[in-house]
Every structure is written in structure tokens, then in C-alpha cells.
Structure 1
Amino acid sequence: MRFSVLASGSSGNAIYIENDEHNFLVDAGLSGKKLESLFATIDRSMKKLDGIFVTHEHGDHIKGLGVVARKYGVPIYANEKTWQAMDGLIGKVPLEQRFQFDMETVQSFGQLDVESFAVSHDSVDPMFYTFHQNGRKLVIITDTGYVSDRMKGIIRGADSYVFESNHDVSMLQMGPYPWSVKRRILSDVGHVSNEDAAVAISEVVDLKETKIYLSHLSKDNNMKDLARMSVSQTLQSCGVIAGEYVHLYDTDPDRPTDLITV
């Protein structure tokens, strides 16, 4: 199992996952043209996509979904309420490409098992995904206001994480956003801060080599170096030394990571 975080941030999100049998995308939050360019950067083709898993209906996760679905005939997977919320936002998607992926269920695609789980975000029915193959585990969890004990139970012990580290609390509080937006981001249905991400990470990692890709960083309220430093320092205060067996990596809003083997 291999993956690349094609893009991550408020301007658009997309994550590519493949194994020897299938090629998938989690979210399509950029234009079709931009997604094609990102695929080319990692030497992959959207023509070979076997499906797109949708997390929720916000524009930075579905902007290019309808275009990609129609151009390439790709199956789209989302839960019932998310499908309803997307109606009118992504244009017409043929019925034969519309698949339901219920919350808290597992669907299997050959050797790959895909598990959905609920998060806490201000959309109708947001959910993210865990990918399992041959005892290896990849977790994608962004766009959540907090990480509950239930979520921690589902995501515990993964080999790789794409984990939200959205904002630095002080930068957000002192920044130019209206108070209503700040309050939303800081709420239980907003986004996880650097420090809260680190505390959650410390509670789910096992004593094995684990790669953490810090994702969905705010352009206005965070920086890569700050996120890595804050997460590293908070992990250390929780008894986890970044660099020993937990390794932190950056993601970018418009440049993909290398293909990573899980």
C-alpha cells in the first residue's frame, strides 16, 4: 500500500492511495486541471482511478469531484447525508457512479479494507477513513474539532497517519479573522490545533516506526516549522520523542508528497 498527500490545506485537499490492485483518491478538493497536474507530478494517471472516497461536502474537499467523476467515469463513495448535501454542488453524477459508504462500516476492495469513522466537524455527516492491508494500517483524519476516545480506538496503532494540525492557537487568537470564525475553528466542530493534535497522536501511536504527515495547516494561522516544533515539543511532554520511532513530515497545499509505502 502506497499513498501521496497530493494537496492539503484550506485551498483544497486530495490524497492518493494505491496497492497492486487498485488506485483510489480521498477527496477531490481542487480543480480537475490541478488534480491532473498533481497526478502527473507523482507519475500517475487519473484514468486509472477505481474510486473516490468523500469525507464531507465542504468545497475544499469536493471542488473537482463532479468534473473528475464525469470526465473519467470514476465511482464516488459517500454516506447518504453527504450525497444529499452535495446535490447542487457537484453537478450531475450518473447513478451508476454513485455508491453509498455508510458511517462506521468496512468495504473491501480485493486485499484492501477501507473503514469509515465519524469525526466532529460542522458539516452534515463528516467521516474519514482507515485503510488496512496485510496487517499494515494508514489513517486519514483531518477536519475534526477534537479527537474523541472512540476515534482514538479506531485509529490506534497505525503505521502512517495523515493527521490534522490546523492552527497555532495564539496565531489564530491574534490574527485578522472575525471572532465568529475564530470561535468556529476553536470549537468542537472546528479544527484541531497543533498541541491538541500532538496529545491525540501521543495516545494512539504504538512503539513502532510511525510516520505522521501533519496536514490541513492554516495558511493564516500556522506555519510548517511552527507546527512541527509545537507537535514535537508537546509529544515530548507526553513521553514520545519525535525522531525515535515517531517521525513528523510536512504536507503542502499545492505540491504532493512523494509516494510513501505503508
Structure 2
Amino acid sequence: MGFKFCSLSSGSSGNCQYVETDNIRLLVDGGMSGKRIETLLKSIDVEPDSIDGILVTHEHIDHTKGVGILSRRYDIPIWANENTWVGMESKIGEVKCENIKMFTTEKQFDIEDLGVYPFRVSHDANEPVGYCLFYKNIKISLLTDTGWVNNSIKDAIKGSSLYLLESNHDVEMLKVGKYPWYLKKRIMSDVGHLSNDDAGKLITEIATGKGEVVLLGHLSKENNYPLLAYETVKNIVLDAGIDIDNDINIDLTYREKATKVYNF
């Protein structure tokens, strides 16, 4: 069966990713209602009661809204670092003690047959992380909600078969948009979100040209368009001499529906 990945939803209205190996099914974040997550899981023929665990990146509500609900409803363990637990505990409600799982950022651990490496990112949360997930000889890397990407992050995620990378906003749309200036500054800051240009540049620095999948995620509803994100990233990648028909596969994630299920 192998390694499977699907982005169930990605954006400021809610984030939830699905990962499956031969022996385990996990969610990364659960930033929508429990009912919505259940519906999205069923849309890819996965029953919610088959989920074995939830990994949390950080405590913001668009990543945690449904986490506690699902844990209580299906008796699901939740993994997060201690500072994220502190930040989200009051938001997700009471969880069974045995379902509170803590890890140390930048220290790899295993959940059944899945290797998990939580790496530090730059965002205005208590201790936000991205994840590298390992199964057999395949690596998947999930990097959203960060204002910048340092060499440590690039080294951690490079060589993945699939990337979920933030492509949150178009800088000019954000600058002239309706957001108040303080919010614009926050989004463009080192603890905000990566722009389309940032995403394109990052891909040129990590791509190996071995057919890896790059999913553009966490697109802003107000400050981006899916086609604009795709075209901006595509043009940067093409200018770097990377063949998007053969070297890599760039695609989009969605707020309102799941992507296809990627199999490795």
C-alpha cells in the first residue's frame, strides 16, 4: 500500500492534512469543525474512527479547532510540543491524559512505523513546527506558517518526495488590500507567512529534479488567487532552469476540498 498523503484543507479558514502508511493513519492539524473534518475524510474514503493520531504544528485556531473534538469522539492521541500544549489546551477542551502526547522539537520520534521529525519554524506562536515524515525510503515535508526559511529548515526538508509549502500571499495584493497596516506588517514579517515569491525561490533551492511533488498551501483568500500563486511560482521555477513537466510536479491545495491522494 505504501505511503499516502492528502491535503484535506489548507488556508486561513482551516488546515488539516492526512497521512497513511501500511500500519497507521494520522492527521496533521485539525483546524475546522469535527463534522467538516469527518466529511473531508469520507470524501477520500477514510472513516474518521480509523484515525490513529493527530500531530499539531501550533496552537492557532485554524490548526486546532477540531482537534479536541476528534480526540474525544474517537479516542485519538494528540502529539505536540509542551509549549504548543500550553497554548492550545484551553482552546481544544479536555482531553484524556493518555491521549496527551508530548515531543521535543528537533528530536525525531516514531509513531508505529512512521518516523516524525518536528523542526522549528518562524511564526507568532508559542513553539511552532513543521514536520518531516519518514516511511521506508520516502520523506514528506510539511512547511507552512513561517515568515522565513533558514538553512536548517532547507537542510531538513530537502530530498522529500512530496512538499507541502506555504504560498500564502501575493505581496502587492497584500499591500493594497483591505487589511489594516499592523496585520499587513505581521503577515510580511519574519514571524508571518511566506509569499508566492518566497515559495518559488525556496523551491529553486531545494528541488532535486527527481519528480518530487510540490503542493502550494495556506493560500490567503483575501490576498492571493490560486492561479496567481501557481503562475508566480511556476515562472520563478522555470527561470531557474527547472523543467516543471519532468523535474517536478507543482500543484495546489484547496480550502474547500481535498486534493487527490498521492501515493508513494
> TM-score, with normalisation over the residues of structure 2?
0.97
Aligned residue number for residue 87 of structure 2: 85
Match of 2:110 among 101, 108, 112: 108
Aligned letter for 2:73?
K
Deviations 1:187-206 (A, max 9, x none): 00000000111111111111
Deviations 1:128-171 (A, max 9, x none): 11111121111100000011111000000111011100000010
Aligned residue number for residue 143 of structure 1: 145
State the alpha-carbon separation in 2 of the partners of residues 238 and 147 from structure 1. 19
CA drift of 1:114 comes to 1.1
8 Å contact 2:114–2:134 — kept in the other structure? yes
Aligned residue number for residue 193 of structure 1: 195
Q: Which moved more, 1:81-90 or 1:241-250?
A: 241-250
Match of 2:227 among 210, 225, 228: 225
State the alpha-carbon separation in 2 of the partners of residues 160 and 138 from structure 1. 5
Aligned residue number for residue 152 of structure 1: 154
Q: Unpaired segments of 5 or more residues in structure 1?
A: none
Aligned residue number for residue 42 of structure 2: 40
CA drift of 1:75 comes to 0.3
8 Å contact 2:142–2:163 — kept in the other structure? yes
Aligned letter for 1:47?
D
Say yes or no: does 1:26 pair with 2:12. no
> SS of the residue aligned with 1:192?
coil
State the alpha-carbon separation in 2 of the partners of residues 137 and 151 from structure 1. 14
Matches for 1:153-172 after TM superposition, within 5 Å: 153-172=155-174
Aligned residue number for residue 177 of structure 1: 179
Q: Which moved more, 1:76-85 or 1:233-242?
A: 233-242
CA drift of 1:240 comes to 1.9
CA drift of 1:242 comes to 2.0
Aligned residue number for residue 63 of structure 1: 65
Moved over 4 A (4+): none
Match of 1:259 among 246, 253, 261: 261
CA drift of 1:245 comes to 1.3
8 Å contact 1:232–1:241 — kept in the other structure? no
Aligned residue number for residue 123 of structure 1: 125
Give % identity.
42
State the alpha-carbon separation in 2 of the partners of residues 75 and 213 from structure 1. 27
State the alpha-carbon separation in 1 of the partners of residues 92 and 100 from structure 2. 12
CA drift of 1:175 comes to 0.5
Q: What RMSD, in angstroms, separates the aligned Cα atoms of the two structures?
A: 0.9
Deviations 1:56-105 (A, max 9, x none): 00000000111111101000000000001112111111111000021001
State the alpha-carbon separation in 2 of the partners of residues 112 and 58 from structure 1. 25
How many residues were matched structurally? 262
CA drift of 1:250 comes to 1.2
Q: Unpaired segments of 5 or more residues in structure 2?
A: none
